[in-house]
């Protein structure tokens, strides 16, 4: 062993200790303070998070809303997100997601299946072709059935004129045996539930313009023909088999109409920021209708009847909880103004099938479509929305509202009803939408507000 080797053996342990202390203790590291003087360097922050300036009192108070909203978290995490995530992961591993639901490119075919409690289910296909016969064109088709008395075909051709403007033509043929009607007005469910069949043909043109974020204007003009079949469904009697205080206008003969609709929307939500839910939305709808052919109310020699349908909503939301968890308060209203005199419940000669409906897609989803028709409807909704999966949100809502006469002439606070429910809803509008929801509805406050109805929706439906 040479002299150098012996020297390394003697000083090696000392060097090892010095290096270890230097690496493990940042306080040993020296830095120049700018004046040539070496001083101890501050311990670096390797955590990556900004320094906390939380007020301990405020942080303690925040436990109150955390405890109050804990049921929402438990539902989201253990009832919806984890089971849904496990199911989607298994389907994706088996290739089912790619085979059935993956869309993209210029063409695609996807299945649809929709079950709604109280109505007939349906199965169908949705398909689209983009870029044919020219680049800016998109042709979409949805066909569904559940037997020869449940048929539906929708064809929509959309042309993108500019990035902000679209023009579309849409044709729909529909036959259903399961349509529902009870009464008209705030006490509609007191009338026995009855059923009828419907055959409907509709053709319309649409012009849409979206100059800013989700705000825009949509104009529609079209023709609709509706015929009814007086027959029961699923053991329930037909609509014409019971006596009513007021007849169902146009039920015996059907009707045809022309409509012209303007839809104005101001929405501050930026589509590029999908999880930023703080927004304000104002929507106004005005629709002129002129019906003719087969009207059974009013003078027999009347050639047509006119009315204006109006409505809209005001909504505001905040995601102060962060990461897309938002509370939204929404007020929605819809109504008709007859332009012709008539004896039927103040609605003139407006066909009953054209009256606003508070149930279904209306402001009270705990009621089935057809249960709450009236000359006007209103609903105030508090909704909590949170992310569950890609393109899917969880939704928990409670609504108060009802259907009333024309211009809310018989409105009273104790005549309102409650609707509440939970579900999975699509995050974005589109032509192929998946929805799962469970909702219930109650009697009016004057009658005890007891739960009287339920609505369950499961499936993938069209958004044409």
**Domain definitions of the chain by residue range:** 78-462
In contact, 397 and 420? CB cutoff 8 Å:
yes
Measured between alpha carbons, how far is 387 from 394 in angstroms, rounded to an integer? 6
pTM: 0.77
pLDDT score for 119: 92
For residue 79, give the 3-state DSSP assignment: helix
pLDDT score for 171: 97
Q: For the chain, how many residues are written? A: 464
Q: What one-character-per-residue DSSP string does 278-323 give? A: -EEEEEEEEEEEEEESS--SS-TT--EEEEEEEEEEEEEEE-TTST
Tell whether omega for the bond before 133 is within 30 degrees of 0, i.e. cis: yes
Write down the residue that tokens 């008395």 correspond to. 149
Pairing of strands 137-145, 151-162: antiparallel
Cα atoms in the Cβ-side hemisphere of radius 13 Å centred on 363: 29
Tell me which fold the domain 78-462 belongs to. Answer: Porin (2.40.160)
pLDDT score for 274: 57
Write down the residue that tokens 């007021």 correspond to. 246
List of residues 6+ apart from 140 with CB closer than 8 A: 126, 127, 128, 154, 155, 156, 157, 158, 431, 464
Burial of 51 by CB count in 10 Å (0-12 exposed, 13-18 middle, 19+ buried)? exposed
pLDDT score for 173: 97
Using CA atoms, how far residue 36 sits from 54, 111, 243, 383, in Å, is 38, 75, 102, 63
pLDDT tens for the chain, residues 1 to 464: 555 455 444 555 554 444 444 444 444 444 444 555 555 666 665 555 555 555 666 666 667 766 766 776 676 667 666 776 677 677 667 666 555 555 556 888 888 899 998 899 999 999 999 988 888 899 999 999 999 999 999 999 999 999 999 999 999 999 999 999 998 999 998 889 999 999 999 999 999 999 988 899 999 999 999 999 999 999 999 998 988 877 888 898 899 999 999 999 999 887 666 555 678 999 999 999 998 875 444 444 456 788 999 999 999 988 766 677 888 999 999 999 998 765 444 556 789 999 999 999 899 999 999 999 999 999 999 998 888 776 778 888 999 999 999 999 999 999 999 999 988 887 777 777 778 899 999 999 999 999 999 999 988 777 77
pLDDT score for 322: 65
pLDDT score for 26: 44
Measured between alpha carbons, how far is 166 from 19 in angstroms, rounded to an integer? 70
Measured between alpha carbons, how far is 364 from 156 in angstroms, rounded to an integer? 29
Measured between alpha carbons, how far is 305 from 174 in angstroms, rounded to an integer? 24
Residue 156, token pair as written in the block? 């929509």
| Run of H or E residues at 393 | strand 392-404
Buried b (16+ CB within 10 A) or exposed e, 76-86: beeebbeebee
Residue 39, token pair as written in the block? 């001083």
pLDDT score for 345: 46
pLDDT score for 459: 85
Residue 150, token pair as written in the block? 């449940």
Buried b (16+ CB within 10 A) or exposed e, 341-363: ebebbbbbbbbbbbbbbbbbebb
Residue 391, token pair as written in the block? 């393109």
Residue spans of beta strands (DSSP E) within 67-164 = 107-116, 122-130, 137-145, 151-162
pLDDT score for 25: 44
For residue 185, give the 3-state DSSP assignment: coil
């Amino acid at each position: 062993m040479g002299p150098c080797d012996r020297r390394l053996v003697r000083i090696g342990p000392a060097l090892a200790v010095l290096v270890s202390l230097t690496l493990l203790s940042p306080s040993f590291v020296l830095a120049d303070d700018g004046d040539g003087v070496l001083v101890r360097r501050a311990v670096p922050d390797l955590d990556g998070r900004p320094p906390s300036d939380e007020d301990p009192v405020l942080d303690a108070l925040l436990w109150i809303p955390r405890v109050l909203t804990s049921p929402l978290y438990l539902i989201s995490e253990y009832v919806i997100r984890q089971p849904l995530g496990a199911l989607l992961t298994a389907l994706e591993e088996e290739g089912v997601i790619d085979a059935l639901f993956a869309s993209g490119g210029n063409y695609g075919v996807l299945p649809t299946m929709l079950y709604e409690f109280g109505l007939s289910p349906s199965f169908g296909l949705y398909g689209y072709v983009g870029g044919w016969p020219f680049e800016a064109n998109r042709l979409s088709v949805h066909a569904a059935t559940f037997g020869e008395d449940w048929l539906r075909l929708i064809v929509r051709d959309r042309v993108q004129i500019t990035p902000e403007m679209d023009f579309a033509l849409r044709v729909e043929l529909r036959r259903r045996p399961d349509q529902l009607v009870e009464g008209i007005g705030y006490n509609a469910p007191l009338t026995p539930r009855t059923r009828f069949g419907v055959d409907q043909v509709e053709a319309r043109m649409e012009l849409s313009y979206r100059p800013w974020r989700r705000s825009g204007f949509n104009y529609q003009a079209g023709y609709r023909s509706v015929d009814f079949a007086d027959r029961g469904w699923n053991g329930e009697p037909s609509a014409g088999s019971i006596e009513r205080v007021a007849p169902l206008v146009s039920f015996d003969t059907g009707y045809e109409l022309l409509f012209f609709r303007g839809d104005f929307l101001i929405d501050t939500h930026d589509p590029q920021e999908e999880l930023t839910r703080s927004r304000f939305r104002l929507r106004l709808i005005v629709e002129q209708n002129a019906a003719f052919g087969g009207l059974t109310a009013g003078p027999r020699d009347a050639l047509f009847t006119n009315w204006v349908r109006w409505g809209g909503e005001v909504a505001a939301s905040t995601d102060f909880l962060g990461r897309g968890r938002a509370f939204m308060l929404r007020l929605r209203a819809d109504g008709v103004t007859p332009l012709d005199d008539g004896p039927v419940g103040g609605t003139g000669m407006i066909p009953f099938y054209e009256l606003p409906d508070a149930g279904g897609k209306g402001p009270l989803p705990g009621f089935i479509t057809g249960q709450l028709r009236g000359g006007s409807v209103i609903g105030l909704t508090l909704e909590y929305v949170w992310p569950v999966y890609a393109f899917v949100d969880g939704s928990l809502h409670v609504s108060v509202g009802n259907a009333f006469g024309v211009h809310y002439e018989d409105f009273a606070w104790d005549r309102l009803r409650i609707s509440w429910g939970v579900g999975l809803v699509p995050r974005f509008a589109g032509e192929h939408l998946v929805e799962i929801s469970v909702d219930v509805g109650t009697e009016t406050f004057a009658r005890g507000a007891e739960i009287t109805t339920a609505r369950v929706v499961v499936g993938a439906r069209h958004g044409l």
